Amino acid sequence: MTFFFKHLNKFNSAILFTDLTDRYLEEFKSKLLSSLKPNSASSYFNILKHSIHEAYRRGLIKDNPAERVKCIKEVDTNREYLTKEEVDSLIATECRYDVLKRAFLFSCLTGLRWSDIHNLKWKDVRCDGGIYLYGKF
């Protein structure tokens, strides 16, 4: 969410919900598409559209310009994954920094990003018939 606000503030930090127009949304969409990859631009634009829809639903604004502006289409991405054999090879590989190796392997096995692992606290781990992670991941 922080990156979304960074891009929105860079585009226009002083706009009010009541000042939002179709044109503003189209210009912001163009700005996102020119500075980000399509899927990131789509995610950020959807956050703004959802916020406008919610403001309209709550009666904070009388008009909903987000209804008239199309979303940014996401594109299929080709994600590469490590095979079980590659992970096994990494497990067997020596590493000077054991904590870094364990964090990387934990990431491989859970899909969590480094930033999520770095911020993980013991209070986020629960053992309720299994081991579960609770938090904002």
Residues 106 and 53 in one domain: no
> What is the pLDDT confidence band of residue 5, given thresholds at 50, 70 and 90?
low
- Hey, how many other C-beta atoms are within 10 angstroms of the C-beta on 15? 14
Residue 79 lies in a domain: no
- Domain residue limits at 91: 84-133
Q: What was the pLDDT predicted at 46?
A: 94
- Distances in whole angstroms, Cα of residue 133 to Cα of each of 88, 107, 129, 137: 24, 13, 13, 9
- How far is 19 from 29, CA to CA, in rounded Å? 16
> Per this entry, what is the length of the chain?
137
* Mean pLDDT score, 39-50: 93
Same structural domain, 62 and 8 = yes
State whether 88 and 48 are in the same domain.
no
What pLDDT is attached to residue 3? 66
Say whether both 94 and 63 belong to one domain: no
**76 domain-assigned:** no
The answer as to whether 75 is a domain residue is: no
What's the predicted TM-score (pTM) here?
Answer: 0.58
29 inside domain: yes
